[in-house]
Amino acid sequence: MNKEEFLSGVKEKLEGLPPKELEESLAYYREMIEDRMEDGMQEEEAVAAMGSVEEAASQILDGMSLPKLVKAKVKLSRTLRAWEIALLIAGSPVWVPLLVCIVLVFFTFYVVVASLLFTIHALNLALAVAGIAGIASAILQFATNRGLGGGLTLGAAIFSTGASVLLFLGSRHVDKAFIHLAKRFGIWIKSLFLRRFEAMEQLEGQKGTSI
C-alpha cells in the first residue's frame, strides 16, 4: 500500500468527522510517513509501519472526547433526507415517550439500587448503635445488681454488634459492585455512540460507492 492509498483508506473510514478534525489526523499520518521515508525507508515500508487502516481510524476516534463524537454524529444526521425528517416528526408521538420511558427506567433502576444500599447502611448503623447502647445498659444493670437482666442485655448487645460488623464487611462489597456497575454503564453508553457512529459511517460509505 502506498501513502495515498493509506490516507484515503483512513479518510473513507472517518467520512463523518468534522473536516478540520479529519484534515488534522490525515496531516499527522502524512507527516509520519514522510519522516520515515526521509529516514531512509521505502514508501511501502513506511506505510506498513503505521499499522492497519482500521487501527489508525479507531485510534483517531479514541482520541476524541464523547461530546465531539456526539457532535460529529449529529452532523451526520443533518444530511437526512426530507422524508426521513418528516418520518421522524410524524413518529415523534411514539419515539419521544419511548425514549423518555427508557431514560426513566434506567433512572429508576439507579434510585432503587441506591436506596437499597442506603437501607443496608441505615440497618448497619442501627445495629451498631443498639450494640453500643446495649453494652452500656448491661454495665449499668450489673452495677445496680440486676445480673440476670444485665446478662440478657449483654448477649443481645454482642449479637447486635457482631451482626453490624458482618454487615459492614458485606456491604463494602455491595458498594464496590454498585460503583463498578455504574462505571460499566457509563462505558457502555460511550461504546453505544461509538458503535452507532461506525455503523453510520459504513452506511455512508456504501452509499458513496453505489452512486
Q: Which residue has the cell 521505502?
A: 42
Q: For the chain, how many residues are written?
A: 211
Element counts in the chain: helices (H) and strands (E)? 7, 0
Residue 42, phi-psi category: left (phi > 0), alpha (psi -120 to 50), beta (remainder): beta
The answer to whether residue 5 forms part of the interface with other proteins (CB under 8 A) is: no
Q: Which of 5, 8, 42, 51 binds other proteins (CB under 8 A)?
A: 51
User: Which segment (57-65, 121-129, 142-150, 177-185) binds other proteins by CB under 8 A?
Assistant: 57-65
Q: Distances in Å between the alpha carbon of 152 and those of 72, 134, 139, 143, 159?
A: 69, 10, 11, 14, 11
Are the CB atoms for 14 and 60 separated by under 8 Å?
yes
Q: Which of 26, 29, 153, 197 binds other proteins (CB under 8 A)?
A: 29
The answer to whether residue 179 forms part of the interface with other proteins (CB under 8 A) is: no
The answer to whether residue 62 forms part of the interface with other proteins (CB under 8 A) is: yes
The answer to whether residue 191 forms part of the interface with other proteins (CB under 8 A) is: no
Least Å distance, CB 50 to other proteins, is 5
Which residues are at the interface with other proteins (CB under 8 A)? 25, 27-29, 31-32, 34-36, 38-39, 49-51, 55-56, 59-60, 62-65
